[in-house]
Amino acid sequence: MADPLDTVFAALADPTRREILRMLLEDDMAVTDVAEPFEMSLAAISKHLAILAAAGLIAQEKRGRVKWCKLEPDALKAASVWMQSFGQFEPVNLDAFERFLEQELGVGPDP
């Protein structure tokens, strides 16, 4: 079984799927409304929606004859926590590090 983070990041890798998620931030949408702004078939949009649903990023539910899509924001939590873990490190200032080495260790740039 694939790591859930792998599935989420694979789903987010496609710009169409990211746009669908952005659209669903506003409100739940019928599949036909999701498909409307895209220049692709309803079948192609349905495949994108299936990938998003498999990653847990959206939920789909049938209401009468209409299939609705709803954003599942909790699925992004693990990915967000993983990405934020990289924010704990300050960027390294290589010039300052080189000056530190010169002062502390007597190491200087090569002539």
pTM: 0.74
Which phi and psi angles does 3 have, rounded to 5°? -65, 135
Cβ–Cβ < 8 Å for 81, 47 = no
- Per-block average pLDDT, block size 10, for the chain (111 residues)? 85 95 95 96 97 96 95 86 72 66 61 49
Q: How is the chain split into domains, by residue range?
A: 4-105
Domain formed by 4-105, architecture: Orthogonal Bundle (1.10)
pLDDT at 103: 72
Alpha-carbon distance of 51 to 40, in angstroms, equals 16
